[in-house]
Amino acid sequence: MKVVSIVGARPQFIKAAVLSEKLRQQGQEILVHTGQHYDDNMSDVFFDELKIPQPDIHLGIGSGSHAEQTGRMLIEIESVLEREKPDWCVVFGDTNSTLAGALAAAKLHIRVAHVEAGLRSFNKAMPEEVNRVLCDHVSDALFCPTSNAAENLRNEGITQGIHVAGDIMGDMLKRSLERARKKSKILEQLDVQPKNYALATVHRAANTDNLDNLKTLLETFGKINRIVILPLHPRTRGMIQRNGLTLPESVRAIDPVGYFDMLQLEANADCILTDSGGMQKEAYWVGVRCITLREETEWVETVQAGWNRVVGTNPGLILDTVLNWLPQGERKDIYGDGETAGRIAGILEGMRKMDMP
Ligand code: UD1
Ligand code: UDP
């Protein structure tokens, strides 16, 4: 089996790492990096730490408007796919790299496999929601983390190729947590004690492009009764710098960190405040309360389980939740058993042999 996998953004490197290993045991994988993320601490660090094979092809697309970035990716990915003629084009998540890979492949009649299919925020103002919906509707194999995600697809009339396979980020987390605990020195470097700090990340368009929201969030972080560690996405750092925003004293902005440092920061935080998708799940897995700085979430199971509260950017609600809320529920394996990658690789091979669907 020959597969072209498309990655480009930070969470996709983490998702692709485990699947890449399985695909290469079973056949040929050509890993394509679109270059959507390019800073060392947004890209290289993950390849090094997680021992991801170096990309076979690096497109070097970089940043741009949605149309510019996606359009350039489409053109480049099309020529890769025409040359390589894979059995599958595998795409992950919901970024512009995901959409470009799916669209380029579908138009060439190359089968598309979408890992993390069926997630919905039902908010089309999110660029990710547009990417997800479009990608799912041209995919031949749709790997859903949960049965709820599969139900979302059926509600949109997608009936073929759906597989509830579990969440692939769980595979990586389960194998990395102990390693992170032993390897990471981030708590010492930042001079913070376990459970004595909050961890925050902000990078969504709704929270960064909207200056009022960003200001409100930073001010609110300053009112939390403990140190807030804030690994800054370059997009957020750019907004802060361009607008001359100053951070409250208790908010410690740091550069983006590698995966092991992030797991260590997450596992030892008192709480996680975030608009990240991946970090809502990671908070659940490490058993740390998550306060989601958005109006809605795709990861509804973490909310239903009682470990995630969706509070938007309302300062009173954020502070009240940080101060007064403690999760009660037990943490079941709502996102699978950590064996998702093997399952996906097996299904891809099976579908190829049966010549689909
Ligand atoms: C992208 C994804 C988002 C995902 C996030 C993961 C889209 C539409 N969005 O958002 O779904 O949650 O990745 O982190 O695909 N920049 C740098 N260096 C980098 C990368 C980005 O400086 O290595 C800056 C550039 O100014 C760029 C901005 O960050 O314009 C935004 O980057 P982009 O990849 O377009 O979107 P993200 O916000 O990272
Ligand atoms: N992450 C990281 N370092 C950071 C911020 C995030 O390693 O400084 C990891 C995080 O642990 C998770 C993934 O990146 O595994 C989430 O990426 P991000 O929040 O950028 O994107 P999203 O999941 O929202 O698409």
- What is the longest distance spanned by two Cα atoms in the chain? 61
For residue 121, the model assigns a pLDDT of 98
Q: What pLDDT tens digit does each residue of the chain (357 aa) get?
A: 999 999 999 999 999 999 999 999 999 999 999 999 999 999 999 999 999 999 999 999 999 999 999 999 999 999 999 999 999 999 999 999 999 999 999 999 999 999 999 999 999 999 999 999 999 999 999 999 999 999 999 999 999 999 999 999 999 999 999 999 999 999 999 999 999 999 999 999 999 999 999 999 999 999 999 999 999 999 999 999 999 999 999 999 999 999 999 999 999 999 999 999 999 999 999 999 999 999 999 999 999 999 999 999 999 999 999 999 999 889 999 999 999 999 999 999 999 988 754
Instruction: Check if 2-167+336-354 and 174-324 are the same fold.
Output: yes
38 C-beta closer than 6 A to ligand 1: yes
Q: Which two tokens stand for residue 288?
A: 């740390």
Instruction: Give the separation between CA 282 and CA 149, rounded to whole angstroms.
Output: 18
Contact 74, 89 (CB under 8 A): no
Instruction: Give the separation between CA 300 and CA 304, rounded to whole angstroms.
Output: 6
Alpha-carbon distance values, 272 to 41, 166, 188, 209, 338 (Å): 21, 23, 19, 22, 22
Ligand number nearest CA of 236 is 1
For residue 329, the model assigns a pLDDT of 84
For residue 328, the model assigns a pLDDT of 85
Instruction: Give the separation between CA 13 and CA 11, rounded to whole angstroms.
Output: 5
Number of CB atoms found within 10 A of residue 45's CB: 19
Protein residue closest via CA to atom 19 of ligand 1: 37
Backbone angles phi, psi at 144, to 5 degrees: -95, 140
Instruction: Give the separation between CA 169 and CA 152, rounded to whole angstroms.
Output: 20
Active site residue 203: yes
Contact 218, 248 (CB under 8 A): yes
The single residue of 33, 37, 114, 203 carrying the catalytic annotation is: 203
Alpha-carbon distance values, 72 to 29, 59, 63, 109, 132 (Å): 23, 9, 10, 20, 19
Q: Which two tokens stand for residue 60?
A: 């070097």
For residue 205, the model assigns a pLDDT of 95
- Domains in the chain: boundaries: 2-167+336-354, 174-324
Contact 117, 143 (CB under 8 A): yes
Domain 2-167+336-354: give its CATH code: 3.40.50.2000
Q: Which two tokens stand for residue 10?
A: 């930070």
327 C-beta closer than 6 A to ligand 2: no
Gap from CA of 221 to ligand 2 centroid (Å): 19
For residue 354, the model assigns a pLDDT of 84
Gap from CA of 153 to ligand 2 centroid (Å): 25
Gap from CA of 233 to ligand 1 centroid (Å): 8
For residue 356, the model assigns a pLDDT of 56
200 C-beta closer than 6 A to ligand 2: no
HEC states along the chain?
CEEEEEECCHHHHHHHHHHHHHHHHHCEEEEEECCCCCCHHHCHHHHHHCCCCCCCEECCCCCCCHHHHHHHHHHHHHHHHHHHCCCEEEEECCCHHHHHHHHHHHHCCCEEEEECCCCCCCCCCCHHHHHHHHHHHCCCEEEECCHHHHHHHHHCCCCCCEEECCCHHHHHHHHHHHHHHHHCCHHHHHCCCCCCEEEEECCCHHHHCCHHHHHHHHHHHHHCCCEEEEECCHHHHHHHHHCCCCCCCCEEEECCCCHHHHHHHHHHCCEEEECCHHHHHHHHHHCCEEEECCCCCCCHHHHHCCCEEECCCCHHHHHHHHHHCCCCCCCCCCCCCCCHHHHHHHHHHHHHHCCCC
Instruction: Give the separation between CA 352 and CA 312, rounded to whole angstroms.
Output: 43
Please tell us whether the domain made up of 174-324 is placed in CATH 1.10.1760.20: no
Q: Which two tokens stand for residue 94?
A: 């919901």
Strand order in the sheet with 111-115: 57-58, 28-33, 2-7, 88-92, 111-115, 141-144, 162-164
